[in-house]
């Protein structure tokens, strides 16, 4: 047990060195090896969460932060890590809650106070932008409709929109389009934020069965029943085909 603890400690320090050198992927590998020896060590989960965050692997970073909180709910570092991930993915309201929980456990931490204030400022900015966005879209649509009508009056030799009712309808249509574009923009923005915390694509799983990708607990490939494994490619197998083609050409020349 002492040897295992020592090995995990050495791996952790090696990971810390990689973090200082900016080698974040190597740090993840070292922390992961250490976690195999000490899977319930909250410090290792906290360190690996930071490494994942540096690699912009937000889903994995959040998972390690929540695991850290689960292992030691009284340690503020786990909530801080969670807040960092949520802040980077622009989930500012959730980040405020995480930072505040950490601050409750460590009230004198100036860095946590700054993080709370910074996140709350972003929350207010987002709310203000969301309130103004429909008006901005509608106003833009109104101006576009107005420019079309003015251009039709002063640029075209014969105005095509002479009826006042048509002009009002045209402006109303552009106002509606501007409002709709603003709503679509907000939806796409929120969807993009949500996608940042989606799990990464499992390529081995996506390629499906029958390709030697499903593996057992020892890492050996599992071949599904009724699915034949394709034979290995043999470079020599192409030679007879090539030679047969050459023989055919020679026969044609003789004829």
Does this model's pTM top 0.75? My answer is no
Measured in whole angstroms, the distance separating CA 45 from the mean position of its chain's CA atoms is: 20
Going along the chain from its start, the domains and CATH numbers come out as 2-108 (1.25.40.10), 127-195 (no CATH)
Query: What integer pLDDT is reported at residue 164 of this predicted model?
Result: 77
Measured CA distances, 251 to 79, 105, 241, 242, 248 (Å): 80, 90, 15, 15, 5
Measured CA distances, 112 to 48, 94, 119, 133 (Å): 20, 15, 11, 31
Query: Region 179-207: what's the mean pLDDT?
Result: 76
Each residue's pLDDT tens digit, 9-64: 999 999 999 999 999 999 999 999 999 999 999 999 999 999 999 999 999 999 99
Cβ atoms of 174 and 141 closer than 8 Å: yes
**SS3 letters for 154-172?**
HCCCCCCCCCHHHHHHHHH
What is the pLDDT of the chain when averaged over all its residues? 80
């Amino acid at each position: 047990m002492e040897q295992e603890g020592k090995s995990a400690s050495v791996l952790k320090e090696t990971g810390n060195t990689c973090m200082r050198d900016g080698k974040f992927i190597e740090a993840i590998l070292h922390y992961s090896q250490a976690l195999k020896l000490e899977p319930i060590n909250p410090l290792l989960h906290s360190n690996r969460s930071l490494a994942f965050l540096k690699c912009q692997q937000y889903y994995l970073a959040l998972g390690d932060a929540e695991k850290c909180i689960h292992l030691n709910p009284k340690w503020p570092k786990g909530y801080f890590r969670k807040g960092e991930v949520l802040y980077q993915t622009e989930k500012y309201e959730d980040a405020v809650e995480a930072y505040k929980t950490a601050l409750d456990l460590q009230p004198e931490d100036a860095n946590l106070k700054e993080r709370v204030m910074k996140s709350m400022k972003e929350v207010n900015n987002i709310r203000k932008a969301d309130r103004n966005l429909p008006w901005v879209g509608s106003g833009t649509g109104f101006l576009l409709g107005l420019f079309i009508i003015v251009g039709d009056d002063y640029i075209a030799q014969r105005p095509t929109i002479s009826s006042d009712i048509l002009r009002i309808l045209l402006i109303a249509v552009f106002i509606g389009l501007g409002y709709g574009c603003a709503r679509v923009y907000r939806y796409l923005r929120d969807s993009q934020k949500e996608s940042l915390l989606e799990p990464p694509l499992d390529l081995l799983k996506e390629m499906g069965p029958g390709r030697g990708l499903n593996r057992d607990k020892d890492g050996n490939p599992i071949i599904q029943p009724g699915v034949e494994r394709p034979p290995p490619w043999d470079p020599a197998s192409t030679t007879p085909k090539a030679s047969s083609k050459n023989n055919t050409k020679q026969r044609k020349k003789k004829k």
